[in-house]
Amino acid sequence: MIYFFTIDSPEVAAKRAQAEAAQAAAAALRRKAQTGAREQEIQAARQQMLQAEAGKHLATVTYERIQRLFEDGVLPAQRRDEAEAHLASVTAAATAARALYEMASEGARTEDIEAALAQERRATAALEEVEAILSETRISAPRRGEVSSLLIESGELAPAGFPIVRLVDLDDVWVVFQIREDDLGDKPVGTRFRGRIPALGGREYTFEITWMAPLGAFATWRATSLSGGFDLKTFEVHARPVESIVGLRPGMSVLVEQVKR
């Protein structure tokens, strides 16, 4: 589709940029949740776990040694309590380090992945909403035609429902006549006649009546005499060329010889 013209909307453009950024961020979170931790992060967590396990083993051996010395009466209870507290501390650290390593190895929980997917869908829907609004700023011609006039200039505000451009479809042309009913004669729809177009060198062409209807009261010819007179309506008649006329444009005159009854 070829867009006829575009209405500039800085607000919509800004909202589109925001929606695209939100969608990109949501997609990154979703990929991170689905992929899990990087290999380097898993290795770092494993090293921290091994270090904590080594510290726990050393604290256990130290505590057992101090406990035996305490039982033999060599060391005071203070030293034994300190060793016991240190063992409890490194044991908790080792447990936490193992939990972090296992979490990094297993990746994100199912709930986290589902939350990330929902966030991405929400961001995508917001972007689609902005795109729908943006599409209303790109105006396309309803049919083929030629621009006859611009009703608004570039940079002007375009009120809702206000016509912007007037198009002329040169493939769909007809001639309009106003004929008083007493001059209609035998001219039903389908009647053909010859007409001369001065703008095209005075050449004659064949036309066919395709539509007729009476005009309003403003076009009625009033009788000048009250005795025997009556009002005469004026009819609008449309006639189309039987064959395509090259160069025929709106506003050109068509001269038809009127035959009186």
Same domain, 11 and 124: yes
Same domain, 63 and 14: yes
| Structural domain boundaries, residue 155 | 142-169
Q: Say if residues 4 and 165 touch (Cβ distance below 8 Å).
A: yes
Same domain, 165 and 148: yes
Q: pLDDT tens across 27-68, in order?
A: 877 766 656 556 677 778 778 888 888 888 888 888 888 888
Structure tokens at 22: 């939100």
Same domain, 22 and 122: yes
Q: pLDDT tens across 162-206, in order?
A: 777 888 888 888 899 888 877 777 778 888 989 999 999 999 999
Same domain, 210 and 102: no
pLDDT at 137: 75
Judged against a pLDDT cut of 90, whether residue 207 lies above it is answered with: yes
Residue closest to 210 by CA, chosen among 186, 183, 235, 190: 190
Same domain, 117 and 229: no
Helices (H), the chain: 10-35, 39-71, 77-106, 110-135, 181-184
Q: How confident is the model at residue 226 (pLDDT cuts 50, 70, 90)?
A: low
Structure tokens at 173: 């042309």
pLDDT at 52: 83
Beta bridge partners of 165: 150
Instruction: Summarize the confidence of residues 135-147 as an average pLDDT.
Output: 76
Same domain, 22 and 93: yes
Q: Distance between CA 63 and CA 143 in Å, rounded? A: 91
Q: pLDDT tens across 60-101, in order?
A: 888 888 888 888 887 788 888 888 888 888 888 888 888 777
Q: Which of 80, 113, 135 is the last residue of a domain?
A: 135
